[in-house]
Structure 1
Amino acid sequence: MFRKLLPVVLALFGLISGLGAGLLFRPHPEMIEIDTSNEEGESDATHAHHNQETSVEGTNPAFEYVKLNNQFVIPNLEEGRVASMVVLTLSLETKQGLRESIYAREPKLRDAFLQVLFDHANTGGFQGNFTSSSSMTALRRALLEVAHKTLGPDVNDVLLLDIVRQDFD
């Protein structure tokens, strides 16, 4: 009887301790301080718009980021066999308001991106030190070029969010 209860008790203990740790270490919501002082006599709407534009340094409010729905899985071949798999997650930096248009044309964009990624893999781009600056720059440039051909000049950049290579022995 005890042997049958032991796995259940251990599972409950793990569940309860995991829940407790999750609650203990969860991030607390940051308090947002709103500056209502208006030293230059600007209207509140102008002041709020100015704060909105400069709230996050290094970002341009004229652009939005569109994450492509699925990852890209690229086989890396050596002597006709799959030696490794590369998984990438891509996002596009585009002008505001193009999200729906991009998602509507995503199948064509994914096809073009896959061709670039397969070409990169076939030329050895995912072998050795595949995350070197020169290799990643060449890949980004090729992806941006095909994004411009597919979606037009409204795409500002192609961002590599995640890249993982799983080698097989």
Structure 2
Amino acid sequence: MIKKLLPLVLILAGAGAGVGAGIALRPDPDPANLPEDGAMADTGDPCGIDPNAASDDLGAGPELAPAEAAALSEFVKFPEQFVIPVVEDDKVTALVVMRLTIEVAPEMKDIVTARIPKLRDGFLRIMLDHANIGGFDGQFTSNGSMETLRRGFVDFAAASFPAGIHDVLILDINRQDY
């Protein structure tokens, strides 16, 4: 009987110790995010993160209600992935696969969707140039490298559509070496 209860007791003791350690080692809340009375703000998120809060690091604009933000942009997804060869010494040494989406003003969604082939061509040229200068070598997913690539996408899209393009989102990126 003891042999059958021992594993159960050990599991319960381990789970209890894990919960206790989690509670004991929980970090104190950041005082800068506390309201005047010192209570935690109820953001609706169990982690205490406000999804509508502006972030200086990302260059976010003014805070908008979720309904307002949804009304200000639509997303146009490229139907196919982009496949970019990485060439070294006249040999393909890797392939980079990317999936992109364009954030546009609602009135531009149909226009941008109709011009996907033109955008795809321009974006592919930007990716090939990026690959040729070594942008997909080493730590190619670093913020600096991705920001350079994203800036090229946004500049091309803004030149193609002077108004209504908000951003180009890199949804997936993968490199397969050979």
TM-score by length of 2: 0.61
Identity of aligned residues (%): 43
- Report the equivalent of 1:113: 123
- CA deviations over 1:103-132 (Å, ceiling 9, x no partner): 211111111001100000000000110000
- Give unmatched runs, 5+ long, in structure 2: 1-63
- Report the AA paired with residue 79 of structure 1: D
Q: Which residue of 1 aligns with 2:112?
A: 102
Q: Choose which of 46, 65, 69 in structure 2 pairs with 1:54.
A: 65
Deviations 1:11-47 (A, max 9, x none): xxxxxxxxxxxxxxxxxxxxxxxxxxxxxxxxxxxxx
CA drift of 1:55 comes to 4.0
Corresponding residue for residue 152 of structure 2: 142
TM-score, normalised to structure 1, is 0.64
Count, aligned residues: 115
Q: Which amino acid aligns with 1:165?
A: R
Residue 142 of structure 2 corresponds to which residue in structure 1? 132
Q: Who is 2:99 aligned against? A: 89
Among 166, 172, 175, which residue is 1:156 paired with? 166
One-letter amino acid of the structure 2 residue matched with residue 148 of structure 1: A
Q: Deviations over 1:72-121 (max 9, x none)?
A: 10000011100000000000111013222112111111110011000000
| Counterpart residue type for residue 172 of structure 2 | D
Amino acid at match of 1:54: A
* Large movers: runs of 4+ above 4 Å: none
Q: Distance in 2 between matches of 1:61 and 1:117?
A: 31
- Stretches of structure 1 that go unaligned for 5 or more consecutive residues are 1-52
Q: In angstroms, what is the RMSD of aligned CA positions?
A: 1.7
